[in-house]
Structure 1
Amino acid sequence: MNIATGAIICATLLMAPSGLSFAQDAELPPVPAGKPDPNAPPTISDTPIINLLDREPEPLFSDIIAPSPYAPTSFASTGVKGGLHQGALYLMAKLTPDSPPLDDDLIWRIYSETTNADGRLELVATSRGGDAEFRLDPGTYLIHTAYGFAQATNRIVIGKEVQSKMVTLNAGGIKFGAALKDGEDLDGRPVSFDIFGLDFNQRGERNVIARNVKPGSIVRLSADTYHVVSRYGDVNAIVRADIQVLPGKLTEATIFHKAADITLKLVNERGGEAIANTTWSVLSPGGDVVVEATGAFPDFILAEGEYEALARNNGKTYLHTFTVDPGADREVEVVTSLSELSGQQTTVNN
């Protein structure tokens, strides 16, 4: 199978404003004195604990100096109760060390470092949106940050003090497109993309990141190289490519398909009415079954190449050879008339 991708164009990812607000409690410890400085140089904290979470992240968790007063912007947590004996934690995230903070579409999860009887981490608090503040009892926690499929996990020790932290996700994104070899867009056609990691698991399969992504969709991912499988239709029009995601950039990738939409008809004469109750098999040149169907007008998207259409009707079998050219959608007629035998290479079995 030939592999081809379009030109790759990079641009910064779009970020939307948040607009949430905190409800303050007089008995809570004071909020941080100032908003974290997104331009402050990061310093790597304790070694992250990642083995108990879903997938291995690429974390960078830093203390940052907060030089100016601020009004907290979001607080949507569960399982967190305020009190004088708790610490305050203010969190922000950005794609790269040099990018501005993200102000929407983040999911924060706070886990206890200890596991329950089932060996799973206990979820202590969550928040959605942009930056977030949590009130936590003293102890050690795991902070999981998700931005689409980009994730990071960091360990933090909470006392009774106020802490401000910045998470650098080292993430970017892919925007997918699909076209035929002549450049015709496949907008509105049955095209999808599956995203896999490059590594194989113990079963010899690639780890699945995302499935059934539609053209035009933007998928946020950690900076890395991914194996992408694009399907046009649901038979054999498949193209594979390895695509690199750069931190802080949007990669636009167009995958070109060499395939066409083929409709089969069994007719008594050329241009005649299709015969109902026909059973079909499409075979490769080697005789392998590519796809099967029943009906008067079976429709398939097939990769370019040569095929044999085998039609069964009323106890008889008709075999017709045809070729698929990229982008040449058409009807293929299989004629039952014996006078057409030499012209269409049809075999009749009584």
Structure 2
Amino acid sequence: MRTTLPLGEAIPQQVPPVAPTDPFKSFPSVSTPQKMPKLNSFSTMNPERPAAPVSKDVKLRALLKQKGDPVEQGLVWRVFSPVPGSDGKLPLLATSQGGSADFQLIPGEYFVNVAFGRAGATRKIRVPENGEAESQTLVLDAGGVMLNAVSGPDTKIPRTELSFSIFSSEVKDDGERPLVVADVKPETVVRLPSGTYHVVSNYGSVNAVIRADIQIEAGKLTEATIQHKAAKLTLKLVAEPGGEAIADTAWSILTGSGDVVSESVGAFPTLVLAEGTYTAVARNKDKIYQRDFTVTAGLNSDVEVYLDEKENAEASAKAARAED
């Protein structure tokens, strides 16, 4: 784990989640946000007062955890009026992106929300009429995770063939887990509230799926590598071993129990299969050819189906011996 990344109170329904750019404190910091213009359009002061209120400088900062360092980038700040508008939503008065924020606010009450990826915190603050406004610190209680995967012991999986989905660890009454983040690419930092999450890794689009539970700690970046027991295969219908692939071939891949897991058409389709024993069925010019084969984790290879039934039988017997 690398220590670098904070969630407090729940974000109100009016506050949409925002996924800012990647920002642990160890990463390069961004420039300090510019001061927001004075907000003269809103005040909770008594309207009978003749003198216009003077805006105050309000400084805001966010921590990933209690007693942690302020987050220096990747934050999105929003300041809301506490009085709902005609649509029932809290009016958005000002925003700022980056690290700590500095707002000019008229004395009164406000809701302040800070978002850090899918983590966030909201607090009601009061800007006093007399004296200087104090700085406000919000604790996000958040961390981050960066996912990757290999096939077999150490075979690197191409980025385009790998994806992750992150789910809540809690299971609903219907047996499903709430989805938190979908289609996460490898080596992408995802910022989340601290807690346990259920990760599903997909290698290819057939049946190479691995699940794992991952703990996210406040203020830390967790790097997790998942090991797939799968391999990439290229199917070929050939007249002889090592021969040229025959075009216009329809393919079906069956598991040992006879379930169809993949269907395709082409001279040499490529697919990823989980470790195990399969049957490749090739159809060409109203004729059917088939052979059994074994998938070994991390061992990418060609699977040749022959026009000669004897050669297919020998290849199937070899696969059976390898499985034993």
How far does the alpha carbon of each residue in 1:239-259 deviate from its partner, in whole angstroms, 9 at most, with x for none?
Answer: 111100111112121111110
Question: Percent identity at matched positions?
Answer: 43
What SS does the corresponding residue of 2:313 show, helix, strand or coil? helix
Deviation, structure 1 residue 270: 2.1
Taking a change above 3 Å as real, the CA distance of residues 180 and 48 of structure 1, as seen in their structure-2 partners, is closer
Mapped pair 1:265 → 2:236:
yes
Query: Which residue, out of 125, 140, 155, partners 2:124?
Result: 155
Residue number in structure 1 paired with 2:13: 52
One-letter amino acid of the counterpart of residue 91, structure 1:
L
Residue number in structure 1 paired with 2:165: 194
> Matched residue pairs, number?
290
Distance in 2, matches of 1:308 and 1:112, equals: 65
User: Any conservation in 1 of the 2:151–2:231 contact (CA below 8 Å)?
Assistant: no
Residue number in structure 1 paired with 2:211: 240
Q: Which runs of 5+ in 2 are unaligned?
A: 18-30, 42-51, 318-324
One-letter amino acid of the counterpart of residue 259, structure 1:
A
Residue number in structure 2 paired with 1:34: none
Deviation, structure 1 residue 55: 8.4
Taking a change above 3 Å as real, the CA distance of residues 114 and 275 of structure 1, as seen in their structure-2 partners, is farther
User: Any conservation in 1 of the 2:232–2:300 contact (CA below 8 Å)?
Assistant: yes
Mapped pair 1:11 → 2:2:
yes
User: Any conservation in 1 of the 2:36–2:104 contact (CA below 8 Å)?
Assistant: no
Query: Which residue, out of 221, 225, 247, partners 1:254?
Result: 225
Residue number in structure 2 paired with 1:133: 102
Taking a change above 3 Å as real, the CA distance of residues 148 and 51 of structure 1, as seen in their structure-2 partners, is closer
User: Any conservation in 2 of the 1:86–1:159 contact (CA below 8 Å)?
Assistant: no
Deviation, structure 1 residue 89: 2.3
User: Any conservation in 1 of the 2:162–2:185 contact (CA below 8 Å)?
Assistant: yes
Deviation, structure 1 residue 309: 1.3
Residue number in structure 2 paired with 1:61: none
Deviation, structure 1 residue 223: 1.1
What SS does the corresponding residue of 1:342 show, helix, strand or coil? helix
Taking a change above 3 Å as real, the CA distance of residues 118 and 281 of structure 1, as seen in their structure-2 partners, is farther
Distance in 2, matches of 1:117 and 1:95, equals: 35
Deviation, structure 1 residue 264: 0.4
Residue number in structure 1 paired with 2:298: 327
User: Any conservation in 2 of the 1:174–1:250 contact (CA below 8 Å)?
Assistant: yes
Mapped pair 1:300 → 2:288:
no
Taking a change above 3 Å as real, the CA distance of residues 295 and 141 of structure 1, as seen in their structure-2 partners, is same
Distance in 2, matches of 1:123 and 1:202, equals: 36
Q: Normalising by structure 2, what TM-score?
A: 0.79
Mapped pair 1:75 → 2:46:
no
Distance in 1, matches of 2:40 and 2:232, equals: 60
Residue number in structure 2 paired with 1:32: none
Residue number in structure 1 paired with 2:114: 145
Residue number in structure 2 paired with 1:340: 311
Taking a change above 3 Å as real, the CA distance of residues 187 and 266 of structure 1, as seen in their structure-2 partners, is closer
Distance in 1, matches of 2:293 and 2:38, equals: 65
What SS does the corresponding residue of 2:135 show, helix, strand or coil? strand
Deviation, structure 1 residue 202: 7.2
One-letter amino acid of the counterpart of residue 207, structure 1:
P
One-letter amino acid of the counterpart of residue 238, structure 2:
V
Distance in 2, matches of 1:191 and 1:238, equals: 10
User: Any conservation in 2 of the 1:187–1:215 contact (CA below 8 Å)?
Assistant: no
One-letter amino acid of the counterpart of residue 237, structure 1:
A
Residue number in structure 2 paired with 1:225: 196
Deviation, structure 1 residue 274: 0.8
Deviation, structure 1 residue 106: 0.9
Distance in 1, matches of 2:10 and 2:199, equals: 29
Deviation, structure 1 residue 212: 2.3
Mapped pair 1:124 → 2:85:
no
Deviation, structure 1 residue 220: 1.8
Deviation, structure 1 residue 159: 4.3
Mapped pair 1:100 → 2:69:
yes
User: Any conservation in 2 of the 1:52–1:121 contact (CA below 8 Å)?
Assistant: no
RMSD, aligned CA = 2.9
Taking a change above 3 Å as real, the CA distance of residues 81 and 319 of structure 1, as seen in their structure-2 partners, is farther
How far does the alpha carbon of each residue in 1:80-127 deviate from its partner, in whole angstroms, 9 at most, with x for none?
Answer: 458744444210111112221112111111223344444433322110
User: Any conservation in 2 of the 1:302–1:324 contact (CA below 8 Å)?
Assistant: yes
Mapped pair 1:168 → 2:139:
yes
What SS does the corresponding residue of 2:314 show, helix, strand or coil? helix
Distance in 1, matches of 2:248 and 2:35, equals: 59
What SS does the corresponding residue of 1:216 show, helix, strand or coil? coil
What SS does the corresponding residue of 1:199 show, helix, strand or coil? coil
